């Protein structure tokens, strides 16, 4: 069963039963929220190129992932991955990567067969690309500086510690983070949620500055 004690701890445990419509709805909502956050990170990181390609939306990606639980090309194999949630997350990550990559390739005129001769950069296109890369780099720096401000403003030592452990010590596993921060795993999850809210505030600031909406 999904969500044993979830409302209390915020942690979702156990394997969902996809034949139960309520649980499937719950999985779908969690997946859409997850996919939107992932897409937001990519948009943050890649700027305009981080938007989805081929006219797709995050909801399209989530529908395709949910479809894979019941058949299709990326059909779920419970023998190799018993947890449908893990399968769904991996399909969403893969679809988002493919869509962003294909758009990035198209923007950079690299959507050509591998054996094709690469078109030569003209001085103008090289200059344009270098300007675009420079602008993107500045955007990332601005985003990161805003994020650091947000964390400093929150005056939360644990948030800062989480930042340092992931950024400087490359620690990602919740169990290890929990050990290093001397807090329970559920609290690490709550810390990540607070951190994400700071990221969202940064995204909102950037969107306002650039006049974009979230989708």
Partner 1 sequence: MTERDKDDRDGILALLEDVADHDQTAEEAQEELAGDGVNVSTFLARIQQTVDRQTKEERLAWRREAQKNVEAFARSQNAAGRFATMSRSDLEAEARKYASEVHFRNLEEQTDDDLRTLLADRARLEELSKK
Which residues bind to partner 1, rule: CB under 8 A? Answer: 2-3, 6-7, 10-12, 21, 24-30, 32-34, 36-38, 40-41, 44-45, 59, 62-63, 66-67, 69-72, 89, 140, 144, 162-163, 166-168, 170, 172, 189, 192-193, 195-196, 199, 214
- Which whole-number Å values give the CA distances from 202 to 41, 141, 149, 187, in the listed order? 11, 12, 9, 23
User: Is the Cβ of residue 113 or residue 211 nearer to partner 1 in the bound state?
Assistant: 211
Q: How far apart are CA 214 and CA 211, in angstroms?
A: 10
CB 15 → partner 1: shortest distance, Å?
Answer: 14
User: Is the Cβ of residue 140 or residue 180 nearer to partner 1 in the bound state?
Assistant: 140
Burial class (CB in 10 A: 0-12, 13-18, 19+), 1: exposed
CB 171 → partner 1: shortest distance, Å?
Answer: 9
User: Is the Cβ of residue 75 or residue 112 nearer to partner 1 in the bound state?
Assistant: 75
Output the six-digit token pair for 95.
């679809």
Question: Angle at CA 143, nearest 5°, toward 164 and 133?
Answer: 115
Q: Residue 127 carries which DSSP code? A: H
User: Is the Cβ of residue 113 or residue 136 nearer to partner 1 in the bound state?
Assistant: 136
Q: Residue 119 carries which DSSP code? A: P
């Amino acid at each position: 069963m999904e969500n044993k004690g979830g409302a209390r701890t915020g942690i979702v445990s156990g394997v969902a039963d996809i034949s139960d419509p309520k649980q499937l709805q719950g999985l779908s909502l969690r997946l859409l929220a997850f996919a939107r956050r992932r897409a937001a990170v990519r948009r943050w990181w890649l700027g305009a190129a981080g938007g989805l390609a081929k006219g797709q939306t995050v909801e399209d990606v989530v529908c395709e992932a949910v479809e894979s639980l019941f058949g299709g090309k990326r059909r779920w194999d419970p023998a190799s991955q018993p947890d449908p949630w893990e399968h769904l997350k991996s399909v969403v990550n893969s679809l988002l990567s493919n869509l962003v990559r294909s758009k990035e390739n198209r923007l950079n005129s690299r959507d050509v067969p591998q054996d094709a001769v690469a078109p030569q950069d003209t001085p103008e296109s090289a200059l344009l690309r270098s300007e675009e890369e420079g602008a993107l780099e500045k955007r990332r720096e601005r985003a990161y500086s805003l994020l650091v401000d947000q964390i400093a403003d929150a005056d939360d030592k644990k948030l800062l510690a989480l930042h340092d452990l992931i950024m400087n010590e490359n620690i990602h596993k919740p169990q290890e983070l929990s050990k290093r921060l001397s807090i329970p795993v559920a609290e690490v999850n709550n810390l990540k949620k607070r951190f994400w809210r700071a990221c969202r505030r940064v995204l909102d600031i950037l969107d306002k500055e650039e006049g974009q909406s979230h989708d």
